[in-house]
Amino acid sequence: MNYADIKKWDVANGPGIRVSLFVSGCTHRCKGCFNEEAWDFEYGKPFTKETEDIILKELEKSYYKGFTLLGGEPFEYSNQKVLAPFLKRVREKFPDISIWCYSGYLFDKEITGKMLPKWAETAEMLKYIDVIVDGRFVEEQKKVNLLFRGSENQRIIEVRKSLEAGRPILWEPPEYIHVVVDENPHEVGVAPEICGK
Ligand code: SF4
């Protein structure tokens, strides 16, 4: 597998400060794709054991709340073969971190409906991913103010709850609370470990 980019301090692709990995290779070819060069499976650099170690080291910093996989398409089978064992490493080292994944495949019809019965790697991926943002990017349904999505057709899905329920359960953003900081008389707004899952 090749990858296009590793983004540190990412706040656009899931709640809280995250490390995001943009993998190469995507067969969906959505019109208006933001990342056309990553359709090519050979684009970017080889994803090696050293690359994995760099990401794991970066995630040790206490301000990171999550790790996000994007593409390209993380659920292309050749990418799953590399990402499933890597996600295992991430989850084992950071059991409480939130792991998100963007996929053009539909969670119910394609990922759990077609891939899961066929490939062990899909079951592995779903074991470690908390949330999947699913669906192709549809230019006609693009909206700039959508939280963590590019187009309205895309869904933000809680993986574990959905697998238990046998249908897609949508993720709800955490509510913000207000706290008063002792040393500072001003009230400040913070998210409740929002950051989290
Ligand atoms: S799934 Fe994502 S990377 Fe693939 S073509 Fe669509 S927008 Fe581009």
Tens-digit pLDDT profile for residues 94-138: 999 999 999 999 999 999 999 999 999 999 999 999 999 999 999
Q: Whose CA is nearest to atom 3 of ligand 1?
A: 72
Dihedral (Cα; 14, 18, 24, 28), 10-degree rounding: 0
Residue corresponding to tokens 């998210």 = 191
pLDDT category at 195 given cuts 50, 70, 90 is very low
Q: Is the pTM of this model over 0.85?
A: yes
CA distance 144 to 162: 27
All structural domains of the chain with their residue ranges: 2-190
Where helices occur in the chain by DSSP H, the ranges are 49-58, 77-93, 120-128, 159-165
Angle, CA 97 vertex, CA 157 and CA 180 arms, to 5°: 100
95's CB contacts (< 8 A; 6+ apart) are none
Atom of ligand 1 nearest to the CA of 72: 3
Q: Which residue, 159, 163, 168, is CA-closest to 132?
A: 159
Ligand 1: centre distance to CA 192 (Å): 32
pLDDT category at 174 given cuts 50, 70, 90 is confident
Atom of ligand 1 nearest to the CA of 29: 5
The pLDDT tens digits for 5-46 are 999 999 999 999 999 999 999 999 999 998 899 999 999 999
Under a CB-based contact definition with an 8 Å cutoff, are residues 176 and 190 in contact?
yes
Percent of all residues in the chain with a pLDDT value above 90, rounded to a whole number? 85
What are the beta bridge partners of residue 150? none
Measured in degrees and rounded to the nearest 5, phi and psi for residue 73 equal -130, 105
